[in-house]
C-alpha cells in the first residue's frame, strides 16, 4: 500500500477492481484493507422510497471520504424500499465499495444465487448473508415470507459458488463470483453463552467478516470478544462492531422496547435524559464508544448506523479519530488528476477492445 493509504500500489485505476492477491477472495478494497491490518469503517445507506437514481447518489455522497464500504440494505426491518441489488448497480458504476445485503425472507435459492452472480458481475466484492426480519415486523405484514434458506445455508451456498464454481445443484459456473462473505452477529442479547458458538458456526459456513448489532454496552462486548478468542476465532473472522448516535432518551427507550436485538443500558438513557441538548449528547456518546471500541483487541473496524443522521457520519469518523487520518477512497478523490484521467481512458479503451474481440469471436462461431 502506498503512503497515501487510500490507494494501493497495484491499483490499476482508482475505484476499479483490484488484482486478487493470494489468500484473498475478492478484488475489493474492504478485504484488502482488513488483510493489510487497517482499521476500517463501514456504514449503511438508507435506500430511498423512490425510482430516482439521484436519491441514491446523494445519499452515498454523504459518506465520501469517511467510510471504506457502504451497506446496501435488503428490505431492512421488512419495510419496502429500493432493492439492494439496484442500489449496488447504481453505485458500483461510480466506483463505490458496496456490501450487498442478501436476506432470505423474500427470495428462494434460485433467485438468490442469481443475485449473487449479478452483484459480482456489477463489481460488488462484499456480500452480507442474513436470514432477514420476519414480515410481521414491517409495513407489509400480509406478505408471504419465503425463508427457503437461512443465513447459514446461504453462506454455504455463496462459498460453494465462489470456491467450487458450482450452483448448489452441482451445475458448473463458467465464472464464479469473487466475493468477500460476511454475516451479522449480536453479542448483546441473551443467551450470551450461545452467541460465540453461533459465530463459530457462521465462520465454518463461510463468514469472513461480521458486522454486529449496535453496541452501547462495552463490558458485554469485551466478554463476547474474550469468548471468541477462547474459541480460536480471532484470526478467522474480521469483527466490525456496530455503533450509532441516539437522538434522545425517548428515541433510545422506543428502540429498546420495539427493535428486536437492540440492548441499551439504563445508564445510557439516563445520560441522554439529563442532557441539555440530547441530540448532541448522543453524538458525544457515540464518539466515546467509537474511541473505546477502537482500542479493544479483536476489533477490526466499526459499522456506523446513523439512522436519519447519515449526514453526521463524516463528523463522527473525524472527531473520533478512529481512522488515524486515513481518508477512504471516494469518487471525487482524483478529480482533475491528469495521470488518473489517462489511466481511466486507457482502461476504457482496453475494455472496449476486449468487448469487440469477444463479439467478433461469437459472430464467427455462430
Instruction: Report the C-alpha gap between 85 and 98 in whole angstroms.
Output: 10
Mean pLDDT of the region 262-281: 97
Scanning the chain, the segments in alpha helix (DSSP H) are: 29-35, 53-61, 84-92, 109-121, 151-164, 194-205, 218-230, 249-258, 266-273, 278-294, 313-320, 338-365
Between the alpha carbon of residue 33 and those of residues 6, 28, 238, 342, the distances in Å are 9, 9, 11, 25
290-305 pLDDT, tens per residue?
A: 999 999 999 999 999 9
Q: Are residues 330 and 193 in the same domain?
A: yes
Residue 17 has pLDDT above 60, yes or no: yes
113-135 pLDDT, tens per residue?
A: 999 999 999 999 999 999 987 67
Report yes or no on 8 lying in a domain.
no
- pLDDT of res. 336: 65
Q: Are residues 353 and 273 in the same domain?
A: no
Report yes or no on 167 lying in a domain.
yes
Q: Are residues 233 and 363 in the same domain?
A: no
Report yes or no on 5 lying in a domain.
no
Q: Are residues 363 and 288 in the same domain?
A: no
Structural contact between residues 60 and 32, judged by C-beta atoms closer than 8 angstroms = no
Q: Which domain holds residue 342?
A: 338-366
Report yes or no on 55 lying in a domain.
yes
231-261 pLDDT, tens per residue?
A: 999 999 999 999 999 999 999 999 999 888 8
Task: Give the pLDDT band (50/70/90) at residue 7.
Answer: confident
Mean pLDDT of the chain: 91
Report yes or no on 17 lying in a domain.
no
- pLDDT of res. 344: 58
Number of domains in the chain: 2
Report yes or no on 105 lying in a domain.
yes
Q: Are residues 361 and 292 in the same domain?
A: no
CATH assignment at residue 37: 3.20.20.220
Q: Are residues 128 and 269 in the same domain?
A: yes
- pLDDT of res. 339: 60
65-102 pLDDT, tens per residue?
A: 999 999 999 877 768 889 999 999 999 999 999 999 99
Report yes or no on 6 lying in a domain.
no
Amino acid at each position: 500500500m502506498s503512503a497515501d493509504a487510500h490507494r494501493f500500489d497495484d491499483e490499476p485505476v482508482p475505484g476499479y477492481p483490484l488484482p486478487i492477491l493470494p489468500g484473498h477472495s475478492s478484488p475489493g478494497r474492504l478485504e484488502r484493507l482488513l488483510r493489510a491490518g487497517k482499521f476500517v469503517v463501514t456504514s449503511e445507506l438508507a435506500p430511498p422510497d423512490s425510482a430516482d437514481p439521484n436519491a441514491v447518489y446523494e445519499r452515498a455522497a454523504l459518506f465520501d471520504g469517511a467510510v471504506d464500504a457502504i451497506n446496501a440494505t435488503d428490505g431492512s426491518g421488512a419495510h419496502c424500499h429500493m432493492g439492494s441489488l439496484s442500489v449496488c448497480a447504481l453505485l458500483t458504476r461510480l466506483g463505490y465499495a458496496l456490501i450487498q445485503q442478501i436476506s432470505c425472507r423474500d427470495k428462494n435459492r434460485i433467485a438468490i444465487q442469481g443475485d449473487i452472480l449479478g452483484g459480482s458481475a456489477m463489481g460488488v466484492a462484499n456480500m452480507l448473508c442474513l436470514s432477514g426480519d420476519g414480515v410481521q415486523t414491517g409495513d407489509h405484514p400480509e406478505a408471504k415470507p419465503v425463508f427457503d434458506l437461512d443465513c447459514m445455508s446461504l453462506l454455504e451456498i455463496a462459498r460453494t459458488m465462489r470456491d467450487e464454481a458450482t450452483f448448489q445443484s452441482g451445475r458448473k459456473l463458467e465464472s464464479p463470483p469473487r466475493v468477500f462473505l460476511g454475516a451479522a452477529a449480536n453479542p448483546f442479547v441473551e443467551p450470551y453463552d450461545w452467541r460465540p458458538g453461533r459465530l463459530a458456526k457462521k465462520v465454518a459456513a463461510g463468514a469472513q467478516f461480521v458486522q454486529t448489532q449496535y453496541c452501547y454496552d462495552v463490558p458485554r462486548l469485551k466478554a463476547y470478544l474474550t469468548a471468541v478468542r477462547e474459541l480460536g476465532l480471532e484470526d478467522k473472522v474480521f469483527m466490525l462492531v456496530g455503533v450509532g448516535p441516539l437522538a434522545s432518551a425517548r428515541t433510545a427507550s422506543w428502540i429498546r422496547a420495539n427493535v428486536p436485538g437492540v440492548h441499551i443500558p439504563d445508564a445510557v438513557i439516563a445520560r441522554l435524559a439529563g442532557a441539555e441538548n440530547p441530540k448532541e449528547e448522543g453524538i458525544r456518546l457515540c464518539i466515546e464508544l467509537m474511541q473505546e471500541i477502537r482500542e479493544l483487541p479483536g476489533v477490526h473496524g466499526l459499522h456506523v448506523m446513523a439512522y436519519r443522521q447519515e449526514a453526521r457520519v463524516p463528523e463522527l469518523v473525524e472527531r473520533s479519530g478512529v481512522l488515524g487520518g486515513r481518508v477512504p477512497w471516494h469518487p471525487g478523490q482524483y478529480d482533475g488528476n491528469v495521470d488518473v484521467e489517462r489511466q481511466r481512458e486507457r482502461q476504457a479503451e482496453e475494455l472496449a477492445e476486449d468487448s469487440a474481440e469477444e463479439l467478433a469471436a461469437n459472430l464467427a462461431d455462430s
